Amino acid sequence: MTHLSGTAIDEARASGRAALIGYLPVGYPDVATSVAAAKELVAGGADVIELGLPYTDPLMDGPVIQHAVDAALRAGTRTRDVLSAVEQVAGTGVPALVMSYWNPVDRYGVRRFARDLASVGGAGVITPDLIPDEGEDWLSASDDAGIERIFLVAPSSTPERLRTTAAACRGWVYAASTMGVTGVRTSVGTGAADLVSRTRAAGAGRVCVGLGVSTRAQAAEVASFADGVIVGSAFVRALTGASDRGAALRAVRDLAEDLAAGVREGRPA
């Protein structure tokens, strides 16, 4: 059974809070540990899981994720490992999305990827470097497979770009609220709330924000205006900084619990 992330976000919103969306790349530090870590995110309170498909040129990711993805590739992680990870994480009952640059999907086969992801219970795909105007094949394939497709908007997005992106998304819109690469930030800033407001005005029903949240206070702040708070680099850093596998998994779960408490504190106005 496929659990859709849009439904999970709606359920969080119905309970008066934003959703916590956690990202980890498959294969770091190894495939089994990455799957175990994703399950710890679920146990810690994440509402949606993003599983990264390692790619050789992750230009939009910060150094923490780039390092992890490079290690995963050098260890031999492949698309089949990502699909297996999706199936295992989806088995927890929490929606599992794939975060992937477009080239690996295109190389695998667009319709084949959509079909195979749906067959393992995957909720959908976030495609950071694909815009709806150039995604006709993906729009059709994802519709036929019944999976979500999530495109990105940024502070530089024009009103027309916001409208076309909101209309093309199935699930939610990913608001990348800082220009450039992702990564841990020290403050939220004012641009994120403005981008969410503009994206909603363009027709988006659900807008989730990724900007490098790493603390409970930041999660609460973003949760006060967004439908979902996306956290990636902080979880990867927790895995990287631990002394052994057990400590790494505990660190990931502890951080998830802290951030989940944050999204519950940041009730929308």
The answer to whether residue 193 sits within a structural domain is no
| pLDDT at residue 242 in the model | 85
Please give the Cα distance from 268 to 184 (Å, whole number): 23
Comparing 170-179, 231-240, 244-253, which segment has the lowest mean pLDDT? 170-179
Does residue 63 have a cis bond before it (omega within 30 degrees)? no
Other CB atoms within 10 A of residue 109 CB: 12
The answer to whether residue 128 sits within a structural domain is yes
Please give the Cα distance from 117 to 216 (Å, whole number): 32
* Contacts for 78 with CB less than 8 Å, ≥ 6 apart: none
Q: What is the pTM of this model?
A: 0.94
- Its domain, for residue 30, covers 5-151+227-265
Question: What residues pair up with 48 in beta bridges, in sequence order?
Answer: 21
Total count of residues recorded for the chain: 269
| pLDDT at residue 112 in the model | 98
The answer to whether residue 58 sits within a structural domain is yes
Number of structural domains (the chain) is: 1
The answer to whether residue 33 sits within a structural domain is yes
Banded model confidence at residue 190, pLDDT cuts 50, 70, 90: confident
Give me the CATH number covering residue 146.
3.20.20.70
Banded model confidence at residue 40, pLDDT cuts 50, 70, 90: very high
Alpha helices by DSSP H, listed for the chain, are 5-14, 31-44, 63-74, 79-90, 102-108, 110-119, 136-145, 159-168, 191-201, 216-223, 233-241, 245-265
The string of pLDDT tens digits covering residues 138-169 is 999 999 999 999 999 999 999 999 999 999 99
Enumerate the active-site residues. Answer: 50, 61
Closest CA to 172 of 26, 44, 47, 35: 47
| Mean pLDDT, all residues of the chain | 93
The answer to whether residue 62 sits within a structural domain is yes
The answer to whether residue 167 sits within a structural domain is no
The answer to whether residue 208 sits within a structural domain is no
| pLDDT at residue 243 in the model | 86
Secondary structure (3-state) at 96: strand
